[in-house]
Amino acid sequence: MSQSHCGLACSPPGQIFPPEVLALILPNAFGSHIQDFTTYSDNRRHVCLVCRLWRDVVYLTPSAWCCIPVSLYISQRYVEFCLNKANQSSIFVFFNLLRFASLDGTGPLQTRTPADVANIIFPLFSGAARIEELKLRASDRTSCATLTSWVSRTNSGILRRASLILEAPRDRLAESLSLQPFVGAHELAELHMGYSILPWPMEMVYENLTVLGLSHLPMRNPMGWLEVIRVLSATPKLKQLHLFRVECYHASLPESTPVLEHLETLCLTFAHLSGAEIVSYIEMPSLRQLRLDMRQEQGTVKPSVEGFVRSCHHLLRRLSVLDIGSMHATLDEVRFLFSCLEAVERLDMRRASKQLTEDVVNLIIQKALAFRKLRTLELGMPMSCDKLSSLSMALPVDAEILLPAPRSGGALQRCVWTNGVLDITEHYSPPRFPPDHEQL
């Protein structure tokens, strides 16, 4: 969820809300356990929205009423209240029809059904032309049908951001989700889809998309990969592409591939080499930023760093920003990877370095500091500034190194090397990479 709608970060998980506030938002859903709601981890996704809303209410900011969560637990009175406060402002609606477990672990909470939501809550959004952002989450056929049928009856003319996430086994529910309701969303600029939401409507307008996220799409069917290629070919303005565990197979590769001329940022998460091979069949001449997660799943072969480099060698040579989130690499694999990084200005290894041996980490530092254009190196391994200052490496002028401060619980320090002088500045918050697709 973008900060433009909520404005403030989520409150601490342990925060307790006044019962009268929770009674307004979630009446009769938790009974005597209502004050424990914010500390129950299984419900934290939904609580996140409630926390942000309540904090905005406290500070009386207008954005409080522009972000409306709707679930099997939300109250009709609360939705009416938010819509009234929002007046004619564009609003963000989060339909979360997942079922939460009870606090005592005995089973799902007793709530209204998706049909109840359709009959009671959905009519409140009759002025749907104001909905600019829409996020849908569901875990069963009935909920999927309820959400998509409602969207099809709304005026989606100004809809700019949409997300459809199916949190259930894809083989049983894939056919329940459809993009058909979004055919009229001509201004749609950001679209995220989870699991096998195929086929995609031929008449849907993709030309204004600047951000596209695809997750958990196994392309065992040749038509699946051809469908992805068709959609990518219809997105001339695309700037960000998020591929989260999207796998392809050689048998399904097309003869012609799309050219994404304006794509600048690619977020790639895969557990098999085929996830990297997808990228090798897409032309991205303007790509500058890559966020890479090479995860090993139980019962699978570890993704090969060398295999990835061979598949994406032409992209790695042009990168100016590389963020490696997960990687188990050997010394030889690191040498092979870093031999391709000719234009890197910013290298972020904060997360990956926790999984690497000391020898590999030292080699990464040595290789990275030798980059001619390097300006920022972010490290996540525990090390002291004294150790860093003893490195006999030639740093570019005004380069900076970001690393955990010694004995500070993981807080970062900025170390700026200017003309041979190491200047350390504490309490530094590095800029965030584009949103992680896992947050959908």
Express each pLDDT in 177-190 by its tens digit: 556 666 767 778 88
Mean pLDDT of the region 55-65: 47
pLDDT-derived band at 323, boundaries 50, 70, 90: confident
Q: Is residue 201 part of a domain?
A: no
- pLDDT number for residue 208: 84
Q: In which domain, by residue range, is 95 found?
A: 1-125
Of the listed ranges 112-121, 336-345, 402-411, the one predicted with least confidence: 402-411
For residues 136 and 182, the answer to whether their CB atoms sit within 8 Å is no
pLDDT in tens, 119-177: 777 777 765 456 777 777 666 666 666 666 666 666 555 677 777 766 554 444 444 45
Instruction: Rank 73-77, 318-322, 403-407, 428-432 by mean pLDDT and report only the highest.
Output: 318-322
* Ranges 245-254, 295-304, 374-383: which has the least confidence: 245-254
Does residue 53 lie within any of the structural domains? yes
Residue 62 domain flag = yes
Question: pLDDT by residue (tens digit) across 216-237?
Answer: 765 555 556 677 777 788 888 9
Highest mean pLDDT among 254-263, 271-280, 402-411: 254-263
Q: What is the pLDDT of residue 265?
A: 92
Number of domains in the chain: 1
Q: Is the pLDDT assigned to residue 331 strictly greater than 60?
A: yes
| 114 within a domain of the structure (yes/no) | yes
When pLDDT is cut at 50, 70 and 90, the band that residue 214 belongs to is confident
9-36 pLDDT per residue, tens = 333 333 444 444 555 554 444 333 333 3
In a domain, 109, yes or no: yes
pLDDT band at 271 (very low <50, low <70, confident <90, very high): low
In a domain, 117, yes or no: yes
Q: CA of 262: how far to CAs of 239, 241, 285, 395, 403, in Å?
A: 6, 11, 8, 32, 33
Determine which of 192-196, 252-256, 295-299 has the lowest per-residue pLDDT on average.
Answer: 252-256
pLDDT of 195 reads: 64
Range with the poorest average pLDDT among 140-149, 205-214, 329-338: 140-149
Q: What is the pLDDT of residue 239?
A: 93
pLDDT at 412 exceeding the cut of 50: no
Residue 360 lies in a domain: no
Question: Could you tell me which residues come within 8 angstroms of residue 428 by beta carbon, excluding any fewer than 6 positions away?
Answer: 402, 412, 413, 414
User: What is the pLDDT confidence band of residue 365, given thresholds at 50, 70 and 90?
Assistant: confident
Residue 36 lies in a domain: yes
Sign of the Cα pseudo-torsion (356, 362, 366, 368, in order): positive
| 20-29, 46-55, 160-169, 383-392, range with the lowest pLDDT | 383-392
Q: What is the pLDDT of residue 127?
A: 58
| Over residues 185-204, mean pLDDT | 70
What is the reported pLDDT for 89? 62
Q: pLDDT band at residue 105, thresholds of 50, 70 and 90?
A: very low
Contact 72, 97 (CB under 8 A): yes
- The confidence score (pLDDT) of residue 255 equals 65
Residues 6+ apart with CB under 8 A from 316: 290, 309, 322, 337, 340, 341
Inform me whether the pLDDT recorded for 340 exceeds 50: yes
Is the distance from CB of 424 to CB of 415 less than 8 angstroms?
yes
Q: Look at residue 333 and tell me whether its pLDDT is greater than 80.
A: yes
* Predicted pLDDT of residue 92: 67
Q: pLDDT confidence of 390, banded at 50, 70, 90?
A: very low
The average pLDDT across 329-353 equals: 83
Most confident of 109-118, 191-200, 348-357: 348-357
- What value does the mean pLDDT of the chain take? 63
